Amino acid sequence: MAGIYIHIPFCKQACYYCNFYFSTSLKKKDELLDCLIQEIDLRKSELNNDTIETIYFGGGTPSILSTQEINRLIDAVYSNFSVVENPEITLEANPDDLSEEKIIELSKSKINRLSIGVQSFFEHDLKLMNRAHNADEAIKSLQLATQYFSNISVDLIYGIPDCTNEQWRTNIQTALSFGVPHISSYALTVEPETALASFIKKGVIKNVDDDKAEEQFVILTEELNKANFIHYELSNFGKEGFFSKNNSAYWLGKSYLGIGPAAHSFNGKQRSWNVQNNAIYIKKINQKELPIQRETLSVTDNYNEYVMTGLRTIWGVSLLKIERDFGENYSKYLQLQSKKFIKQELLYIENDVLKTTKKGKFLSDGLASDLFMLNLA
């Protein structure tokens, strides 16, 4: 089983914190959509006849496309790949794009899961991040979407400057009030060369407070635990039966094909990524060339990748898998390196699986990096 990710590199405006690849100009949209379909055809043999179980539209802002355009892309996948009977097909959507007419159209398409980028229900937060929607649109989009879709995820951001813990609780409770079965939540991160980084440097916006972000992460886990959500990955919480199949496949090391500018792919042995430039992407695809770079992963690369993704999830890092897939040296190294973190009650071993404790969960990426093996080859 494998997944297909389709990157739609267009946005109405640039969020201050975003470092993903996108364009605010829609001039090349039609041409680029044609090239996405061509790329799907050019790469149809890459997954070795694996059946597709997830299709994910990410961005950028995929909801900027018409339903007809989205359907063209889904049809191209079905024309070139074998797809399971009931695949998970997710569309990332911004609240301002989700009119009732658009939601009804989408509900009649093969899209069966919406990931709605709310981020906050407070106007101050949305303006600080330069989001395209306002608080009223956030509320209205969920009121409408929940009438037509049962599988909805809401994105929320914590650690926003001047967002108090009480306001953060209100954000969580507001999302829960709509009965959504999945929440993805991330700390506001200051990425280099973003508008946010520039505004913080100039003193226009306060810097993020890591301690407050950790407090709000704890509040998030407590509130969602009370609401019977399972914290199945560092940033993801779902009701039973509503974990993201697309994201879970990535964390479990399954193959996926990334279509579009800046999209990444993985086949178990190689990572690859497309050029981050719409014009170059279009030119190359029209010449029947793939604008792609590939990297063959070493045993150490695969070990590090597995440790990083495993520690972020409830499935953890299997010591038996480490020994079986990577060898005894890797298993011994992992157990030796993890001892100090087990002593500090940040990690624990249960049934030969290494996992983060409640205290260690927020630190899982840092813990993973300390368990990495240096690639000296």
Question: Over the stretch 197-226, which tens digit does the pLDDT of each residue have?
Answer: 999 999 999 999 999 999 999 999 999 999
Euclidean distance between CA atoms 222 and 215, whole angstroms: 11
DSSP for 50-114?
A: PPEEEEEEEES-GGGS-HHHHHHHHHHHHHHS-EEEEEEEEEEE-GGG--HHHHHHHHTSS--EE
Domain presence at residue 299? no
Q: Are residues 93 and 184 in the same domain?
A: yes
Q: Which residue, 109, 113, 110, 74, is CA-closest to 90?
A: 113
> Average per-residue pLDDT in the chain?
96
Cis amide prior to 60 (ω within 30 degrees) = yes
Q: Is 266 left (phi over 0), alpha (psi -120 to 50) or beta?
A: beta
Which strand (E) or helix (H) includes residue 264? strand 264-266
Domain presence at residue 234? yes
Domain presence at residue 279? no
In terms of Cβ atoms closer than 10 Å to its own Cβ (0-12, 13-18, 19+), residue 205 is: buried
Range of the domain at 72: 2-250
Euclidean distance between CA atoms 184 and 376, whole angstroms: 36
pTM of the predicted model, to two decimals?
0.95
Q: Are residues 210 and 348 in the same domain?
A: no
Q: What backbone torsions phi and psi does residue 334 show, to the nearest 5 degrees? A: -60, -45
Q: Which tokens go with 218?
A: 């704890």
End-of-domain residue from the set 194, 218, 250: 250
End-of-domain residue from the set 250, 279, 302: 250
Q: What is the mean pLDDT of residues 137-161?
A: 98
State whether residue 2 is helix, strand or coil: strand
What Rg value do the Cα atoms of the chain yield, rounded? 21
Q: Are residues 16 and 101 in the same domain?
A: yes
End-to-end alpha carbon distance in the chain: 31
Domain presence at residue 214? yes
Is the pLDDT reported for residue 22 higher than 90? no
| Residue 222: CATH number of its domain | 3.80.30.20
Q: What is the mean pLDDT of residues 137-164?
A: 98
Q: Are residues 129 and 237 in the same domain?
A: yes
Q: What pLDDT does 95 receive?
A: 98
pLDDT band for position 376 (50/70/90)?
low
Euclidean distance between CA atoms 333 and 313, whole angstroms: 21
340-366 pLDDT, tens digit per residue, is 999 999 999 999 999 999 999 999 999
pLDDT band for position 227 (50/70/90)?
very high
pLDDT band for position 328 (50/70/90)?
very high
Q: What is the mean pLDDT of residues 119-143?
A: 97
Is 330:323 a contact under the CB 8 Å cutoff? yes
pLDDT band for position 23 (50/70/90)?
confident
Query: How far out from the chain centre does Cα 351 lie?
Result: 29
Domain presence at residue 302? no
Residues in the chain: 377
**What's the number of domains the chain is made of?**
2
Q: Are residues 188 and 75 in the same domain?
A: yes
From the CB of residue 172, how many other CB atoms can be counted at a distance below 10 Å? 23
From the CB of residue 85, how many other CB atoms can be counted at a distance below 10 Å? 6
Q: What pLDDT does 20 receive?
A: 81
Question: What single-letter amino acid sits at 31?
Answer: E
Domain presence at residue 205? yes
Q: Are residues 23 and 161 in the same domain?
A: yes
Q: Are residues 229 and 347 in the same domain?
A: no
Q: Are residues 15 and 152 in the same domain?
A: yes
Sign of CA dihedral 323, 325, 327, 330: negative
Q: Are residues 81 and 200 in the same domain?
A: yes
277-308 pLDDT, tens digit per residue, is 999 999 999 999 999 999 999 999 999 999 99
Q: What is the mean pLDDT of residues 158-182?
A: 97
In terms of Cβ atoms closer than 10 Å to its own Cβ (0-12, 13-18, 19+), residue 90 is: buried
Q: Are residues 215 and 322 in the same domain?
A: no
DSSP bridge partners of 56: 5, 90
Is the pLDDT reported for residue 375 higher than 70? no
Q: Are residues 179 and 326 in the same domain?
A: no
End-of-domain residue from the set 199, 233, 250: 250
Domain presence at residue 267? no
Domain presence at residue 84? yes
Q: Are residues 231 and 331 in the same domain?
A: no
Q: Which residues lie below 8 Å from residue 371, measured CB to CB, with a gap of 6+?
A: 307, 311, 334, 337, 338
